[in-house]
Amino acid sequence: MSLPSTFRPANSEPAVEIPDETAKVPGPRAETEPENPAGFPPDLRKRPALPIALVLGARPRQWVKNVLVLAAPLSAAKLGHADVLRTSAIAFVAFCFAASCIYYVNDVMDVESDRRHPKKRFRPIAAGWIPIPVALVAGVVSGLLGLGVAALANWTTVFVVAVYMALHIVYSLWFKHVPVLDLAMVASGFLLRAIVGGVAANLELSQWFLLTTGFGSLFMVAGKRYSEMVLMGEEAAASRKSLKEYSQTYLRFVWQAAATVAMITYSMWAFQLASSAPHHKSAKPWLEISVIPWVFIFLRYSMFVDSGKAGEPEDVVLKDRVIMAISVVWLVVFATGVLLIGSH
């Protein structure tokens, strides 16, 4: 006979309540899970302070590209002159602000596609760390600062900086998705950096110097696009529409052709410099020999492009010790030849 549920012998221990194992237990931290309406990955939910996010959004690591403003004064053996050094520093700072303006605008325009990219999703705007209105204001302020700093050199420098920003804003709004034209627009940014160094210091620019800079820039841009296609495969077009129109074979042709032309035009430029000082023959072998490390820089960098690891050119240049070592050798050899000409 069963006993009532409330019955227990007088000398028995108190009844122990046994929990029902079939009862549903709430999952761990179910109530404390942070809201994630934008669907960001867990590693993007740690939001830094807005000032830090704005600095990251300005991409200071990319400012290394602005060292190109020193190319013209260096090749003219004028970098050691106080007035040239001052104007070169002004041009460098002006382009840092101008480039940051473009980065803010570009990241706002590409916010949705960047969130689908394996690396670009970590950019502050794509990660949701910087509100879009704040990013646009930061872009305008950066652009005005760039023009203001450029005015400290001369009005021609202001014009070049303004052309750079105008071209890249147009690129971000319309031409980014136009095949071939997108490569030319991005490469023009590197070329304008090299031009502004000469313009700020009122130096004459060699046509071979401009061709070398232009095709060297095209080589890096086409290599970057090629690496993006290798890295992302069929999903590359989701992050950059122009890649839908390209093939890996075509981009390989572009970066190989650009590299070839850049090496040839540099050789012509070096030989031109060597022949410009007939009374200082000691400079000639240095300039001619500089062609060798220059070519090996391209060969080493092409290895990264070919394997799809050149999506971030500044990372390749700064992190590969071999490229850094060859670049130092080239710089020492080339600078020695130029300085010997300048001393005459």
For residue range 225-235, what is the model confidence (pLDDT) as tens digits?
A: 998 888 877 66
189 and 322 within one domain: no
pLDDT at 237: 64
pLDDT at 154: 92
Q: Is residue 17 domain-resident?
A: no
pLDDT at 266: 96
Question: Looking at 179, 205, 231, which one is the last position of a domain?
Answer: 205
119 and 227 within one domain: no
Q: Give percent above pLDDT 90 in the chain.
A: 53
First-to-final CA distance of the chain: 120
232 and 135 within one domain: no
> Cα separations (Å) of 39 from 158, 209, 269?
42, 48, 53
192 and 241 within one domain: no
Amino acid at 115: R
As a three-state string, the secondary structure of the chain is CCCCCCCCCCCCCCCCCCCCCCCCCCCCCCCCCCCCCCCCCHHHCCCCCHHHHHHHHCCHHHHHHHHHHHHHHHHCCCCCCHHHHHHHHHHHHHHHHHHHHHHHHHHHHCHHHHCCCCCHHHCCCCCCCCCHHHHHHHHHHHHHHHHHHHCCCCHHHHHHHHHHHHHHHHHHHCHHHCCCHHHHHHHHHHHHHHHHHHHHCCCCCCHHHHHHHHHHHHHHHHHHHHHHHHHHHHHHHHHCHHHHCCCHHHHHHHHHHHHHHHHHHHHHHHHHHHHCCCCCCCHHHHHHHCHHHHHHHHHHHHHHHHCCCCCCHHHHHHHCHHHHHHHHHHHHHHHHHHHHHHHC
Q: Is residue 15 domain-resident?
A: no
In whole angstroms, what is the distance from residue 126 CA to residue 132 CA? 9
- DSSP one-letter code for 204: -
Q: Is residue 28 domain-resident?
A: no
Domain housing 166:
50-205
Q: Is residue 302 domain-resident?
A: yes
Each residue's pLDDT tens digit, 235-248 = 666 667 777 888 88
48: CB partners within 8 A, 6+ apart: 56, 129
254 and 160 within one domain: no
336 and 223 within one domain: yes
167 and 292 within one domain: no
Each residue's pLDDT tens digit, 182-201 = 999 999 999 999 999 999 99
227 and 198 within one domain: no
Q: How large is the average pLDDT for residues 196-213?
A: 92
In this prediction, residue 141 has a pLDDT band, given cuts at 50, 70 and 90, of very high
236 and 163 within one domain: no
174 and 272 within one domain: no
Question: Looking at 205, 220, 250, which one is the last position of a domain?
Answer: 205
pLDDT at 98 over 90: yes
Each residue's pLDDT tens digit, 44-57 = 557 788 889 999 99
Number of domains in the chain: 2
pLDDT at 37 over 80: no
Tell me the average pLDDT of the chain.
84
Question: Looking at 156, 177, 205, which one is the last position of a domain?
Answer: 205
pLDDT at 31: 39
| Region of residue 77 (left: phi > 0; alpha: psi -120 to 50; beta: else) | left
183 and 245 within one domain: no
In whole angstroms, what is the distance from residue 66 CA to residue 74 CA? 14
In whole angstroms, what is the distance from residue 273 CA to residue 287 CA? 7
The total of other beta-carbon atoms located within 10 Å of residue 133's CB is 9
User: Taking a C-beta distance cutoff of 8 angstroms, is the pair 98, 146 a contact?
Assistant: yes
- The CATH number of the domain holding residue 77 is 1.10.357.140
99 and 77 within one domain: yes
Each residue's pLDDT tens digit, 245-259 = 888 899 999 999 999
